[in-house]
Amino acid sequence: MSVAERSRWIAPAYAALLVVLLIVRLAIGDRTLWLFIVNAFFLYAFLPLPLLLVAAVLTRRAIVVGVFVLAAAVWAWFWGALFLPARQVHAAGPRLVVLAYNMLGFNRDVDDTVRIIRESAADLVALQELNPETAHAIERELASVYPYRLLEPQVGVDGEGLLSKNPMGRATTGVSRDAWTVPPLTVDLTVDRTHITVVAFHTDAGPDHVAVRERQARTLAEYARRRRTALVFVGDLNATDQNGAYTLVAEEMRDAWREAGRGFGHTFPGEPGRQVGGSRPTILGVPAPLWLIRIDFIFHSPDLVALEAKTAPYYGRSDHRGVLATLAIR
């Protein structure tokens, strides 16, 4: 069968598939486990675009060209801005470099985590899945760099911690803890006499926890609506920017990567396999490709602006890589 003959039915079929996926993404949402997965990996519905472009050039059939233009336009709507030249932003206020890093609770290589924190040169570090070994190493090796520390390590994946170069103390009013397996850490930060409230979060993982994760995201959004000071949310959302939990938070806060990052910025899954406690899935015994989705985020309120966002150094010990953002007071 020739390319022209194949394209006669493949192009309309692909267009119909995109329409269905858009309906799921925009109208239905993450109502079930499988819909959550479909939305999380929505980006990969556009993998046929290069082949469709070749078919459009070779056949010059109106339907093939039309489907390509439609699909390319949808891709550009969702992700095109991430590939435009960085815009110049000028902010005279103080700057804050923030690192969000899920270090993997089963990662016993404390030197790896300490190295990443040092090389990030972050002013504020939010760690998810902080284990006791790493907490001890931080106290031993990074106390002089980060004099303000709030560490709550746990064996397994429920530990967390905040490290700061700037004065930091627990906030008097924090995010509601009712819906959380790992309650968020809420602190007040002072940066050059400017007060910023920081919430370090880690939502429940797994496609089967859609409802509880959205309840957790809703508590973050409700907290953002109540606050009147500058606000930063930092942590592992366990959902992508195409999922409902993200939408709930993004209605109130701005995504630093969307504002100042370049490229997709995927942070998961990393190198470790299940044999060392990582979450990188295997399909028929073959590990899934690396860096498929972005689930680690730094959100900020409108009175802050993101000047830069990038992924942190990575050396293969966690199933996440960190994300860094430079924020400034407007």
Cα dihedral sign, 193-195-196-200: positive
- Fold of the CATH domain 95-329: Deoxyribonuclease I; Chain A (3.60.10)
Say how far apart CA 327 and CA 330 lie, in whole Å: 9
For the chain, the domains span 3-83, 95-329
Strands 304-311 vs 282-283: parallel, antiparallel or unpaired: unpaired
pLDDT at 83: 96
Say how far apart CA 95 and CA 299 lie, in whole Å: 15
On whether the CB atoms of residues 319 and 278 are closer than 8 A, the answer is yes
pLDDT at 274: 60
Q: Phi/psi zone of residue 235: left (φ > 0), alpha (ψ -120 to 50 degrees), beta? A: left
On whether the CB atoms of residues 21 and 42 are closer than 8 A, the answer is yes
Helix-strand-coil split of the chain, %, nearest 5: 40, 25, 40
Say how far apart CA 215 and CA 179 lie, in whole Å: 7
Say how far apart CA 166 and CA 163 lie, in whole Å: 9
pLDDT at 284: 74
111: Cβ contacts below 8 Å, ≥ 6 apart: 137
Q: What is the pTM of this model?
A: 0.94
Say how far apart CA 113 and CA 116 lie, in whole Å: 5
Cis peptide before 269 (omega within 30 of 0): yes
3-state SS of 239-276 is CCCCCHHHHHHHCCCEEHHHHHCCCCCCCECCCCCHHH
Output the tens digit of pLDDT for each of the chain's 330 residues: 555 566 667 888 999 999 999 999 999 999 999 999 999 999 999 999 999 998 888 888 889 999 999 999 999 999 999 999 877 777 777 899 999 999 999 999 999 999 999 999 999 999 999 999 999 999 999 999 999 999 999 999 999 999 999 999 999 888 988 889 999 999 999 999 899 999 999 999 999 999 999 999 999 999 999 988 899 999 999 999 999 999 999 999 999 999 999 999 999 999 876 656 777 777 777 888 899 999 999 999 999 999 999 999 999 899 999 999 999 987
Residue 255 CB burial class (10 angstroms; 0-12, 13-18, ≥19) = buried
On whether the CB atoms of residues 128 and 103 are closer than 8 A, the answer is yes
Say how far apart CA 229 and CA 226 lie, in whole Å: 9
- Residue corresponding to tokens 């993404």: 25
pLDDT at 3: 52
Q: What is the DSSP string of 45-77?
A: GGTTHHHHHHHHHHH--HHHHHHHHHHHHHHHH
